Amino acid sequence: MKKVTTGTIAAIAVLIPLHAIGETDPARPAMPPMDVPLMNEQARSAGVNHVYSGPWEFFVGGGAASFDCNGDRFPDLALAGGENPARLFVNRSNPGGQLSFESRELGIAPEDAKNVTGLYPIDIDNDGFRDLVLLRVGRNILLKGGPDCTFENAGRAFAFDGGRAWTTAFAATFENGQAYPTLAFGNYVDRTAPGSPWGTCHDNVLMRPSATENPDYSEPEILSPGHCSLSMIFTDWNRSGTPALRVTNDRHYYRDGEEQLWRVDPGKPPRLYRRSDGWKRVNIWGMGIAEGDIDADGYPEYALTSMGDTKLQTLDEDVEEGRPVYRDIAFERNATAHRPYVGDDLKPSTGWHSEFADVNNDGLLDLFIAKGNVEQMPDFAAFDPDNLLLGQHDGTFVEVGALSGIDLDRRGRGAVLADFDMDGALDLVVVNREAPTSVFRNQGGRTSWGARPMGNWLQIELQQDGANRNAVGATILVKSGNATRLRKVQAGGGHASSHAGFIHVGTGVAERAQIRVQWPDGEWSPAYRVFANNFVVIKRGQSEAHYWYPQ
Amino acid sequence: MQYRFPLLAVAMITGFAASAGAGEPWSEKAIGTHVSQSTLVGPLSAEQLQQLVEQGEVLFTAKFTDDDGVGRPMATQAIIPTKRKRPAPQLFQRLAGSDSNACSSCHNDPLPGGAGDLVTNVFVSEGFTNPDFDTTDPQFSNERNTNHLMGAGLVELLAREMSADLQSQRRAALKTARASGAAQAIDLNTKGVSFGSLTAHPDGMVDVSRLDGIDTDLVIRPFSQKGVITSLRQFTVNALNHHHGMQATERFGPRWTGDADFDADGVAGEITEGDVSALVAWQATRKAPHRIQPDNTTWQTLAIRGDGIFDDLDCGQCHRRALPLNDLTFADPGPFDAAGTLRPGERETGAVYDLSDLPWVAALPRDANGAVMVPLFGDLKRHRIADQQVTELGNELLGQRFVDRDVFMTSELWGIASTAPYGHRGDLTTLDRVIRAHGGDARDSRDQYIALDQDDRTALIAFLKTLVIEP
């Protein structure tokens, strides 16, 4: 990919003609040529009335989990509340209609629903119901999912000790040969340690399932040192088939810390990649990780949010193969998102959740970043709107947060991008600190008369029998013409937030595509031929993909 | 990558005028001024439609020039905008294209909008991996003869109604399955044509493994020999790029490519949405072929006899004499196109025109329900047309857009007498020859035809010879 300088970017911005959609509002930035999704905030009418709040421990966290908890394939929503109870919002939207959710309690002990910082959905016991991992200030909890969005504490059933740490990060993977997932918990400041909070980061924890008939996490392994992690993700960074654990850490509290990459080989103790392996020291206020393979070469890029610049890392192609040496391309790709893009505040931004997705269905990955001052940090922007960086064909990004309408004066934390109304366009939920949760319905490409249909899309659900029913760790390749789009099925990352369910892929002007799946054990599927603008269910071993239709 | 947006081109596409043609007499542009889509809003009056059709005819017959943006030095023929790695060595190239100057260069027999003989064959390739192929070796492309476009507006309307009907049947099956909790297996039929069956499950899943002759999204794509093109609009955008290197903004423009001059020929905005609309209107209003009453009494007698033989051989199983069309309202953009072809909602209001205003449409018979009987002699369904013994029409090596190499859309027979040669490659010079080449799903009819005595075969041909294109 040709490098693009900021000078070039500026020139492009000047030369882009106003798109012929009738908009000339001088208060808004010029419309870029691609579709800008019109995001209509409708939390109140959708029935989502929820606030993440609390003292210092809840300056961080504020997660959201979207997953189907009642078998209708519509993504439901669970939101962390900090000192408020975490709540469940069951999706009652009609396809293509206004968003509508039914608010419910999680149905667990009231004290368990409090002090939640983040939530992650994953089917731990392979029963077909997604379970829910609650990250908490204090004891973490595994909730076993049941029919119709019911949950029960599975601590005893899964031999899970949630500890007493302040947990702010989570990731899971199914290690080769294991029936149940390996769970990684990232912890923040150890408040009980002498000198806290400075330099008193808790260790992190890796929980591998014991080889039994039921999930058994009674033998945790310590990932030490911990550097006050705020996000982690299992990632097959080197296409080895064995994901490593990438951890982003908050330099605000650690001493001698850095970003981390743990090698997690099945049956072996995890070990950190070191200088001798090529790992470079990077010190950021690491808040969130998003993985996205922008160029679909199989080697993912990572968006690491921080205070100030967002990092966009790509594997350095000039370095010897197999060495985790990363190059920051955020500047050349116009993705630093380092300060507010509207308003007069020139102070640095504070970034939290990050997520790659194709929000305008043009076939290119976009990048969402939740933003918001930690609390009242005077050296950082107070009005710090969330970013929506649209991917462009030259590999750069362009900011459209204001044009899309997501530039609210709220302190964003966690978020999820999911198609809640099942119309093919990704909607957005942002959990805000001490402010109402934002629920944006993606209405299509913004125009002077409202919105227009955007590009083509596919949404893909993977199924396999036995362990890892939802194929966590699988790779999905969607090929149309010369373009291949790559997605990973993941559990973890972001900022205390994640989505499980249909994997969304924008296909631009391609009206059909071939899908190939590399299942978590490395086996490749046949090519499935599908037409765009459909929900596709692929069951391992079947020769044909099936369509699913929402109602 | 730099944005190219020549000032000349900007002026050209923003200074819309009423006519697609004209310009100074000495201009070397074929397109004097572009058609503005902004004028094509809501129901068009007969006068507005007439003007649009005239603009379309100018464009259909225009020999595009360098000044218009002909050629695609840095783009392939692919329907998905695809950059070439190296500039095309020639502006025109009869294999990979660009391969013609005007639409009417090929669609001209017996009149503009008609078919073409072998010399107009095109080479259909996806254009992704072999944009430069310079061989007729069928492993690189499928050689196809030029189809006629007469009556195409009615064909598209039929396909729209059939697609809507089939998708409605799917919705109903899903609704019943969800309500009853039991899987619903339904036969898919529309306008008397069966498209196999599907099973709708209570959880919203649909098993499409038993569909027949239609894509899995239940969209009938009535155009091209293969039956893979949804609409005249999609066909127009595809063909303009493939054959002329004239790139329509609605697919090759900055919205989808980030580039105002995607093919890097120095001209941006080569074909506007309005230009495409004009071309669609012209094609959609082409007079349908019809059946003549021969002056020659012997021919009359033979044709009557052949008409009966057509039924006796069950040719009408696929070559349906007529399909009923309920609504003659042609909306452009249409309802089944995907992104990259203008869709409803992409403009505040689309254009709508009533084909029933056309005299030749008004003259078509109607059934008891008032539906216009469109005499296309086709079923808008794909069939396998070759088998182990009869292979001639299975002569392609490449499938196309998920359709097997030996499966093709039933050729509509209206106008067949005016559109020799025959077969998708246009290499069969007589009707007798092409009938004998029918294998696969048509094998029984073909065998019966061969078993006829010569007089009966002649009678069938005489009947087919009454299906003509006339001005």
Per-residue pLDDT tens over the stretch B61-100? 999 999 999 999 999 999 999 999 999 989 999 999 999 9
Q: Which of B341, B346, B340, B336 is nearest to B256 (CA)?
A: B340
B348 touching A (Cβ < 8 Å): yes
Q: Name the residue facing B338 among A393, A452, A532 (closest C-beta).
A: A532
Looking at the structure, tell me whether residues B263 and B318 fall in a common domain.
no
Residues of chain B with pLDDT under 70: 1-22
10-residue mean pLDDT series, chain A (551 residues): 36 38 56 96 98 97 98 98 98 96 96 97 98 98 98 97 97 96 98 92 97 91 98 97 97 96 97 96 97 95 97 94 95 97 94 98 98 95 97 97 97 98 98 98 96 98 97 98 96 98 98 98 97 98 96 90
Rounded to a whole number of angstroms, the distance from the CA of A480 to the nearest CA of chain B is: 8
Chains A, B: CB pairs < 8 Å: 126
A38, A447, A478, A511, best to mutate vs chain B, most B CBs in 10 Å: A511
B346 touching A (Cβ < 8 Å): yes
Residue A21: the pLDDT is: 54
Looking at the structure, tell me whether residues B265 and B413 fall in a common domain.
no
Q: How many CB atoms lie within 10 A of CB B330?
A: 24
Torsion from C-alpha of A30, A32, A36, A41, nearest 10 degrees: -30
ipTM of the complex: 0.93
Amino acid code (one letter) for A248: T
Q: Is B294 domain-assigned?
A: yes
Per CB-CB distance under 8 Å, the chain A contacts of B36 are: none
Contact B402 A529 (CB under 8 A): yes
**Coarse DSSP helix, strand, coil percentages of chain A, rounded to the nearest 5 percent:** 5, 40, 55
Question: DSSP characters for A81-93?
Answer: -BTSPPEEEEE-P
Looking at the structure, tell me whether residues B46 and B60 fall in a common domain.
yes
Looking at the structure, tell me whether residues B256 and B270 fall in a common domain.
yes
Residue B350: the pLDDT is: 87
B209 touching A (Cβ < 8 Å): yes
CA distance B161 to B168: 10
Looking at the structure, tell me whether residues B317 and B437 fall in a common domain.
yes
Instruction: Give B207's contacts (C-beta < 8 A, 6+ positions apart).
Output: A546, B198, B199, B201
Q: Is B80 domain-assigned?
A: yes
CB A168 within 8 A of CB A135: yes
CB A364 within 8 A of CB A392: yes
Looking at the structure, tell me whether residues B272 and B306 fall in a common domain.
no
Question: Can you give the residue range of the structural domain that contains B201?
Answer: 152-207
Amino acid code (one letter) for B30: A
Contact B126 A33 (CB under 8 A): no
Q: Is B362 domain-assigned?
A: no
Which pTM was predicted? Answer: 0.94
CB A187 within 8 A of CB A165: yes
Q: Name the residue facing B205 among A11, A529, A546 (closest C-beta).
A: A546
Looking at the structure, tell me whether residues B202 and B131 fall in a common domain.
no
Contact A394 B258 (CB under 8 A): yes
Looking at the structure, tell me whether residues B96 and B241 fall in a common domain.
yes
Residue B14: the pLDDT is: 37
Q: Which helix (H) or strand (E) is B5 found in, with range?
A: none
Q: Is B278 domain-assigned?
A: yes
CA distance B195 to B187: 8
Closest chain A residue by Cα to residue B254: A33
Residue B9: the pLDDT is: 38
Q: Name the residue facing B174 among A456, A534, A549 (closest C-beta).
A: A549
Amino acid code (one letter) for A428: L
Closest chain B residue by Cα to residue A550: B204
Query: Which two tokens mark B260?
Result: 């105002």
Q: Is B84 domain-assigned?
A: yes
Amino acid code (one letter) for B207: D
Looking at the structure, tell me whether residues B81 and B193 fall in a common domain.
no
Q: Is B421 domain-assigned?
A: yes
Closest chain B residue by Cα to residue A8: B2
Q: Is B235 domain-assigned?
A: yes
B257 touching A (Cβ < 8 Å): yes
Residue B12: the pLDDT is: 37
Looking at the structure, tell me whether residues B460 and B318 fall in a common domain.
yes
Per-residue pLDDT tens over the stretch B151-200? 999 999 999 999 999 999 999 999 999 999 999 999 999 999 999 999 99
Torsion from C-alpha of A433, A430, A308, A374, nearest 10 degrees: 10
Rounded to a whole number of angstroms, the distance from the CA of B469 to the nearest CA of chain A is: 34
Number of domains observed in the structure of chain B: 3
Q: Which of B251, B272, B77, B346 is nearest to A508 (CA)?
A: B251
Closest chain B residue by Cα to residue A361: B339
Q: How many CB atoms lie within 10 A of CB A396?
A: 23
Size of chain A, expressed as the number of residues it contains: 551
Looking at the structure, tell me whether residues B176 and B121 fall in a common domain.
no
Per CB-CB distance under 8 Å, the chain B contacts of A452 are: 345-347
Residue B134: the pLDDT is: 84
Looking at the structure, tell me whether residues B140 and B56 fall in a common domain.
yes
SS3 B139: coil
CATH number of the domain to which B322 belongs: 1.10.760.10
Residue B18: the pLDDT is: 44
Residue B21: the pLDDT is: 56
Q: Is B233 domain-assigned?
A: yes
Residue A9: the pLDDT is: 34
SS3 A276: helix
Amino acid code (one letter) for B385: I
Residue B128: the pLDDT is: 85
Q: Name the residue facing B343 among A2, A15, A453 (closest C-beta).
A: A453
